[in-house]
A = this chain, B = another copy of it.
Amino acid sequence: MEKADLLLIGGTVATMNEQFDLFEPGAVAVRGSDIVAVGPAEQVTSAWEAKEVVDCQNHVVMPGLINTHTHAPMTLVRGLADDLRLDVWLIGYMMPVEREFVQPDFCWLGTQLACAEMARSGITCFADMYYYEEAVADATAQAGMRAVCAQSILKFPTPDATSYDEGLRRAQDFVARWKGHQLVVPAVGPHAAYTSTPEMLQACAQIAQEYDVPVHIHLGETAQEVQDHRAEFGMPVVPWVKKQGIFEAQVTAAHCVHLDDGELHTLLHHGVGIAHNPSSNLKLASGIAPVVKMLEMGLPVGIGTDGPASNNDLDMFEEMRLAALLAKGATSDPTAVPAKQAVAMATIIGAQAIHIDHLTGSLETGKRADIAIVSLEAIHSTPRFHRDPDSIYSLLVYAAKSSDVRHVLCDGRWLMRDRVLLTVNTEELRAQAAVMARKIDRFLIAREESVLSKLLAIGDVAREKTFEVQVKVLLPDTSSVEAALSSGDLLVIKPSQRRQYDTYFLFDDPEHSRLRHREDEVLNDDGSVTDADYRLTLTGPTKEREFAHSVLLSRSRFDAPVTRSLRFYREYFRPKEEWEVHKERRRYHIRYGGTDFAVNLDHVTKPKLPGSFLEVKSRTWSAQDAERKAELIGELLEMFGVKEQELVRREYLELAREAARLSK
């Protein structure tokens, strides 16, 4: 007799191997972290003995479920804000709370809470993507669970990086440190196409290839994202991402709701795995992913819960059921995604989708012992038919619940016995989570009246690039600048003559928000007006950093179209102060050193200010890029013949307020 550490005997063993072998009664032998035998009970027990034997009669012994897409720490914001428009939810609630609270301890606590919930519903492995992913990885390893942990990188400032350069450094450090861990596979997580720059994606691909680790990315989640992408880049999302080299790595693409057939073929060709998130896609009204088509093409489509803030739980039994039901509803075909296939998506296909099917996803000799043991004794699983052996899958998908999971084993170690978790202290986690919830409650109550949240509630708000390199110069006359602009040394793209009527709303909120309402008249050559733009721009507190010839401003900046009257906005926002600045502007878009700059020649008419102002501006997501632009601005100022002592540090609003003070 060979010696194992553990024998699971007497249950219905659903191996989820290539032949979908079912053994009833079956048995599984485990030694150390590995499965050493699977088969009919008699065959296994006649060859193997073990000190620990668990009777699994009236239970299904199956691979631990695989949650292919989540943001585990977001358990701590579960139920914080629901039933809202995506931008209000994301930009109005999730992002501000994340900015304020997401620290390594938050991520550690949230992940442990997530692991507790996941283990209780039979999940042994998940693919995560969040900030401070090292804390996520550490909390997961301590909970004894398996995970592919992707360090998120965005072009915006994030809770763990002031720019994407920093995010890339963080990802590289994380991957280098965790590569080769027994439970955690580190990965690179460029958030999505619309939150990336090409350079950022290229750098992500490079890290993933250098360390041979997976990439986890959101692709084609919403129709808006796809439409915006086409408008901006003239091509769909997938070819654009491909162009940046991402698919040279092993990629898991979350959502893929709005990809066309060509894009899906590209994913197939590059071995990309899909994480389908049915609850999240419905809850955020993103749409329904073409799962049947993907599966028919041969794409590995796993199932994910997405983050608990958009679901609001981490229950793969719910997702498995919904994946099976939704596919039928979406295709009007009741035979679509039958139960057996849904269980495969939640196990072996999920493992393929996150590129670790050599480790887990099925009960096969040589794989890690990641096992869920599910009771068939619940009243909702009664009765059980045996005519069709495959009806066991139907029972698991359409009737069983996560609360039927009785024991869970991961990497050969018990995570749960008789519904009691063994590797995490749930009472302590609940207490700590309650403390965090109280803090978040207090924070949100305080900022509930924030200008941004009010803007989000009414507007189609877009976030602008964080960093603005700019220079402002007071000129007695503009002739030298105009000469340089018309000299042909510079590429001038869009010159225009404008009259701008700006109204500033100032607030005394903690963020010192400033909302600008701009009426921007475009003048024809004869001075007549045929067109006007109307924009709201909200800016937060500004951090300044000085360069040789310019200033780097970093601040949050949100743009929204004006859809109502100034009176409405005044009444709605109730600003503390209101100021007007009118000016005549000659606006040029120029290209210099391969970089776009805005050049303005302004004459301020309200309040009347003497002389003209030259402004040179450029925006970027990258702190490093900002430095390069600052140098270019220095060169431009030289070309314009501007002397340093003419630099003006203040914005027009400040100049207007000073003028008002002086005139009193």
Residue on B with the closest CB to A442?
A: B387
B-contacting residues, A393-439, CB 8 Å: 394-395, 398-399, 401-403, 426, 429-430, 433-434, 436-437
Min CB gap A154→B, angstroms: 22
A311 touches B78 (CB 8 A): no
Interface-side segment among A186-194, A247-255, A330-338, A645-653: A330-338
Q: In the complex, A379 Cα to B382 Cα: how many Å?
A: 27
Known A398-B313, A401-B403; contact A334-B84, beta-carbon cutoff 8 A: yes
B-contacting residues, A357-407, CB 8 Å: 377, 379-380, 382-388, 391, 394-395, 398-399, 401-403
Asked if A553 is at the interface of the complex by the 8 Å CB criterion, the answer is no
A399 touches B313 (CB 8 A): yes
Asked if A124 is at the interface of the complex by the 8 Å CB criterion, the answer is no
Asked if A630 is at the interface of the complex by the 8 Å CB criterion, the answer is no
B403 touches A117 (CB 8 A): no
Asked if A80 is at the interface of the complex by the 8 Å CB criterion, the answer is yes
Min CB gap A110→B, angstroms: 10
Asked if A210 is at the interface of the complex by the 8 Å CB criterion, the answer is no
Asked if A314 is at the interface of the complex by the 8 Å CB criterion, the answer is yes
Asked if A89 is at the interface of the complex by the 8 Å CB criterion, the answer is yes
Q: In the complex, A281 Cα to B332 Cα: how many Å?
A: 10
Known A82-B338, A84-B334, A313-B398; contact A329-B382, beta-carbon cutoff 8 A: no
A440 touches B385 (CB 8 A): yes
Min CB gap A442→B, angstroms: 9
Tallying the copies of this chain within the complex gives 2
Q: In the complex, A325 Cα to B311 Cα: how many Å?
A: 9
B385 touches A430 (CB 8 A): no
Asked if A134 is at the interface of the complex by the 8 Å CB criterion, the answer is no
Asked if A328 is at the interface of the complex by the 8 Å CB criterion, the answer is yes
Asked if A284 is at the interface of the complex by the 8 Å CB criterion, the answer is yes
Min CB gap A26→B, angstroms: 20
Q: Within 8 Å CB of A402, what residues of B?
A: 401
Q: Within 8 Å CB of A429, what residues of B?
A: 379, 382
Most buried by B among A322, A379, A386: A379
Asked if A315 is at the interface of the complex by the 8 Å CB criterion, the answer is yes
A385 touches B79 (CB 8 A): yes
B332 touches A287 (CB 8 A): yes
Asked if A472 is at the interface of the complex by the 8 Å CB criterion, the answer is no
B83 touches A394 (CB 8 A): yes
B120 touches A379 (CB 8 A): yes
B83 touches A334 (CB 8 A): yes
Known A384-B437, A385-B437; contact A426-B379, beta-carbon cutoff 8 A: yes
Min CB gap A122→B, angstroms: 13
Min CB gap A305→B, angstroms: 11
Q: Within 8 Å CB of A448, what residues of B?
A: 387
Q: In the complex, A444 Cα to B329 Cα: how many Å?
A: 28
B113 touches A281 (CB 8 A): no
Q: Within 8 Å CB of A391, what residues of B?
A: 79-80, 82
Known A83-B339, A379-B117, A380-B314; contact A283-B394, beta-carbon cutoff 8 A: no
Q: Within 8 Å CB of A311, what residues of B?
A: 398
Most buried by B among A86, A333, A382, A441: A382
B79 touches A398 (CB 8 A): yes
Interface residues of A (CB under 8 A from B): 75-76, 78-86, 89, 113, 116-117, 120, 223, 279, 281-285, 287-288, 311-315, 318, 321-322, 324-326, 328-329, 331-336, 338-339, 377, 379-380, 382-388, 391, 394-395, 398-399, 401-403, 426, 429-430, 433-434, 436-437, 440-441, 444-445, 448
